[in-house]
Structure 1
Amino acid sequence: MPSASRWLPIVLSGVGSLSSGCGSDPEPEPEPSYDLEALRDPETCAECHPIHHREWLGSMHAYAGEDPVFRAMNAKAQRETGGELGDFCVSCHAPVALALGLTEDGLNLDELPQEVQGVTCYFCHQVESVSGTHNNPLQLAMDAVMRGSLSDALAPDVHGVANSDLLNRNRMASSQVCGSCHDIVTPDGAHIERTFAEWQASFYGDPDPDDPERPAVYGLTCNDCHMDRSTGPIADYPGVRGDRSRHAHSFVGVDVAVTDFPDAELGPQLRAEQLAEITEQRKTSLCASLCVKDLGGGGGAEVTVWLHNEGAGHSWPSGSGQDRRAWVELIARDDADQVLYSSGVVSEDEAIAELDDPALMLLRDRIFDADGNETHDFWKAASYESNLLLAPDELSAASDGLTWRDNSYSVDAMPARVNMRVRLRPIGLEILAELVASGDLDPAVLDATSTFDVAPAVLEWTPELAVDSTGAVDYGSCVSSSPGCGAPALN
């Protein structure tokens, strides 16, 4: 049994504490004092997170409030609805400005400081809960605590820290945050942007059956594809560990800035960096096959193109499908290199949707107003028709096979060479032309819109390069993106 003398210091210490408490309570530790206004400014974040900040600055998140196409569409929509559209657009394009009561409809963004426009650091790292699946149902804490994926983050002088599954790429919940604005339903009920719903319907969105808060072993969250992982410090701050899993904040997707943002010096550099990352990401998006069958007897040839959404994680293309324009350009030539046949060939300033080409393979959505008339105006959309490359709904050969798409072309003579490529415009030129005509968009934006080729769906067929198809149907001889990236019907 311990002796009484062993407890004496503790007892005396307790008495001392009690006696000191008889006068006045001890002074509590002062609460940290944070500058909320400064914390909302991404430039504050750049002081400790310079790499994250530069990546973000080149992203469409940073550009969301500045984007002239968004500004033009919102202006036209507000005018045509008499302001009834309200915060429909700005809730995702400038959510912090909306939360602070600085705007109601986004028409005054030119009058607001840059730090409250776009999808900012403060917006994402303030998410406290998600109350729905589309049109930004995010609930923000609007405090000085920045939430993230670390459970042992070092708290700096400028903000508090907290761990959140909503900001953890290894948790299914993190995709809810992305999906909140990458899933849009119009006032008339048309589900015109379905990226989150497409992911949920695919096998990529399957949860782990033993731990539903995590993705399945073959699954992916949004951030697995759109926030590349590397190892290193995540802040330039004393005491920060150097072995963290750092996530890129460039948020690579389809779109790029069409003006020099944030300025004429840095804008072109950021655009080039973003385009390089987009090109790299697209290398795993599609698979393609190109087949040519000699019909014999001078009957010409049948050319077949096969496309597959190999790794997008959702439909391809995705996002505002009514604006996207992805298509197959195909050119068949004879021995003298003369063009025998072509489809999908347009100049850089020609709208593909207006091309008179019955054989055109065009991937896009169409939206219709309440009277069934096709429109480009999303605020009028009451229904839609979709013609995109779907992601497989389950991880199986059967599901994979069902999601290949083919298109056939009749060529009057047997070609010596056939070239195909998948081309992509983030938005149709005819849509931009309408915004220019209405006076809402600077014509320079139309001129700055780019057309991209999507590797590896860029193929050349010649008899020497091709191998015979061996499937149930004879498609002639074929070339594919790679031995493991060809149409299953060919074997």
Structure 2
Amino acid sequence: MRGVVSYKTLLIILVLFTATGTALASKPTAHGQLSSDLFTDSTKCAQCHAIIHNQWEGTMHYNAYEDPFYQKEFMVASNDTAGIVDIFCSRCHTPIGVVSGEIPPKDGSQLSDIARQGVQCDFCHVISDSNGTGNAPFVVSPGNTKWGPFDNSKSAYHGSEYLELYTNSEYCGMCHDVIHPINGLVIDDTYTVWKEGAYAKEGVMCQDCHMTPGITKFEANPGRAGSSAQKREHISTHDIVGGNAFVTKILGEEKYSKMAVERLEKAATLNIDAPEIAQRGDNVSVNISITNSGAGHKIPTGVSEIRQMWLAVSVKDRNGKEVYNTGQIDDSGTIVNARKVYNTILGDAQEQPTLSFWLAESVLEDNRIPPKGTVSEKHTFKIPADVAYPLALEATLKYRSAPQDTIDHLFGDNVYEVPVINMTRASSSIYENEGEAMATPSTPGIAALGSITLFLCAAYCISRRKI
């Protein structure tokens, strides 16, 4: 079996799991786990926290366990590793299932309804401590006390306690940093990149972008956390999205799919450095810069070995004749001739690229763009003799959650089409001579200003005649 792990490695994994520090409540089961009955169903939370519950319901946190892509990948990973990663993966996708001992078995046949609720209300708010970041080192204390970001909350239903952890990125970093449990290879560095970057130095937390109405910056959300709670200047929103417009769409969660697209559209900017004048027969070089202007982590992030971000560049003449084209998607869903695909390339034991992070032992390449970082691509093409000027150059930064052939392999051909998102665009024009270039579309702005001036002069003269 591919990737089967030794018994010695199994013991290492078990030690790692034991060290994660899950707190036992006062009513453990006979096997030492927490009973899932100790956790409150999210529908009860909705009775007082209807707005927040409505925001959360339908997100990827809500669907963390039911996510069909995760389910497929999880089964492959389990088979490849003889079940070693079952608890490791489940710890973030069904945390109640793990702390209650309902996982394993891997097929979820022993999971309670509440464990299937993914990253749900009561689980998040009974986290009473953390043993660090990465691989979900949360400490949970289910019961009547709920923890949160306010130091003066009062509730008639449950106790409320302030915990600074809820106001910091370290809360998110518990699951949004993933380290290979066998060899220590960093698989997901979302939190670490933030911590080492400019946003952390400026005091911008994950919550400031992902739990406010603003997309790339903090925006206050006045309101109440519950129906009888006091009004506050800001209540964190719980419709937390990243860039996953694929799974949300196939689950019918259109609201969150659209929000993911909107977030992707705000993540980056493009700049084109191209000559304004070029002649037929010339070899033209164009530099296109991509800046990560809106994300506090690298783009893309998460399971970045399967994420794909790339530039599609086209040049057409006035009649639509194609002069240059690269980075388009063919009929099979393959990216054609892109200069670079921006993601992480993981290597297996033979140092061959792999999309299976559980089999990874090295990072062969990291082509992602860091926060506030810029990368450039050079594109060169020859202008044919029969073109009609001007030439229109367009660059589009594209993104998709996974390669189409990966999804076809997991689900079958033609079951799901992975949406390709246009993150941002930039365009430029190339002219044959300087006279054409001076009469660019920007010129009418000057002409319009002249027309307005003439109109005002005429109106002034007419008014003078009436005096």
- 1:35-434 alignment, distance < 5 Å: 37=37, 39-104=39-104, 106-108=106-108, 111-157=111-157, 159-168=158-167, 174-186=168-180, 187-206=182-201, 218-228=202-212, 229-237=220-228, 240-256=229-245, 258=247, 268=252, 271-293=253-275, 294=277, 296=279, 298-347=281-330, 350-352=333-335, 355=336, 357=337, 360-384=339-363, 385-392=365-372, 403-413=373-383, 416-434=391-409
Give the aligned CA root-mean-square deviation in angstroms.
2.6
- Could you report, residue by residue, the CA deviation over 1:350-396 in whole angstroms, capped at 9, with x for unpaired residues? 032xx3x2x5231111111122111111110011121001124xxxx
Secondary structure of residue in 2 paired with 1:247: coil
Tell me the residue number matched to 1:3.
none
Tell me the residue number matched to 1:459.
426
Question: Which consecutive residues of structure 1, in runs of 5 or more, have no partner in the other structure?
Answer: 1-34, 169-173, 207-217, 262-266, 393-402, 436-440, 468-476, 480-491
* Deviation at residue 36 of structure 1 after TM alignment: 8.3
In the superposition, relative to structure 1, how do residues 73 and 279 fare at CA in structure 2: closer, same or farther (>3 Å)?
closer
Equivalent pair of 1:349/1:447 in contact (CA under 8 Å): no
Using the size of structure 2 for normalisation, the TM-score is 0.76
Equivalent pair of 1:65/1:109 in contact (CA under 8 Å): no
Tell me the residue number matched to 1:400.
none
Q: Distance in 2 between matches of 1:137 and 1:160?
A: 24
Secondary structure of residue in 1 paired with 2:406: helix
Q: Distance in 2 between matches of 1:92 and 1:167?
A: 17
How many residues get paired?
A: 385
Q: Distance in 1 between matches of 2:68 and 2:249?
A: 11
Amino acid of the residue matched to residue 458 of structure 1?
R
Q: Distance in 2 between matches of 1:298 and 1:380?
A: 50
Q: Distance in 2 between matches of 1:341 and 1:296?
A: 15
Q: Distance in 1 between matches of 2:376 and 2:95?
A: 41
Equivalent pair of 1:89/1:105 in contact (CA under 8 Å): no
In the superposition, relative to structure 1, how do residues 256 and 298 fare at CA in structure 2: closer, same or farther (>3 Å)?
closer
Q: Distance in 2 between matches of 1:92 and 1:82?
A: 20
- Could you report, residue by residue, the CA deviation over 1:60-109 in whole angstroms, capped at 9, with x for unpaired residues? 10011001111111111111211122311101100111111111364216
Greater shift in the superposed pair: 318-327 or 273-282: 273-282
Secondary structure of residue in 2 paired with 1:459: strand
Equivalent pair of 2:310/2:341 in contact (CA under 8 Å): yes
Q: Distance in 2 between matches of 1:316 and 1:105?
A: 35
Amino acid of the residue matched to residue 420 of structure 2?
T
In the superposition, relative to structure 1, how do residues 131 and 310 fare at CA in structure 2: closer, same or farther (>3 Å)?
same
In the superposition, relative to structure 1, how do residues 361 and 110 fare at CA in structure 2: closer, same or farther (>3 Å)?
farther
Amino acid of the residue matched to residue 175 of structure 1?
S
Amino acid of the residue matched to residue 451 of structure 1?
V
In the superposition, relative to structure 1, how do residues 110 and 316 fare at CA in structure 2: closer, same or farther (>3 Å)?
farther
In the superposition, relative to structure 1, how do residues 260 and 430 fare at CA in structure 2: closer, same or farther (>3 Å)?
closer
Q: Distance in 2 between matches of 1:254 and 1:348?
A: 24
Q: Distance in 2 between matches of 1:412 and 1:463?
A: 12
Using the size of structure 1 for normalisation, the TM-score is 0.73
- Could you report, residue by residue, the CA deviation over 1:442-490 in whole angstroms, capped at 9, with x for unpaired residues? 656x514311111xx21221258xx9xxxxxxxxx9x9xxxxxxxxxxx
In the superposition, relative to structure 1, how do residues 129 and 195 fare at CA in structure 2: closer, same or farther (>3 Å)?
same
Amino acid of the residue matched to residue 244 of structure 2?
D
Secondary structure of residue in 1 paired with 2:132: coil
In the superposition, relative to structure 1, how do residues 95 and 162 fare at CA in structure 2: closer, same or farther (>3 Å)?
same
Deviating beyond 4 angstroms after TM superposition, the runs of 4 or more aligned structure 1 residues are 294-297
Amino acid of the residue matched to residue 222 of structure 1?
C
- 1:449-488 alignment, distance < 5 Å: 449-454=418-423, 457-463=424-430
Q: Distance in 2 between matches of 1:447 and 1:256?
A: 13
Amino acid of the residue matched to residue 422 of structure 1?
L
* Deviation at residue 233 of structure 1 after TM alignment: 1.5
Amino acid of the residue matched to residue 419 of structure 1?
E
Equivalent pair of 2:265/2:422 in contact (CA under 8 Å): no
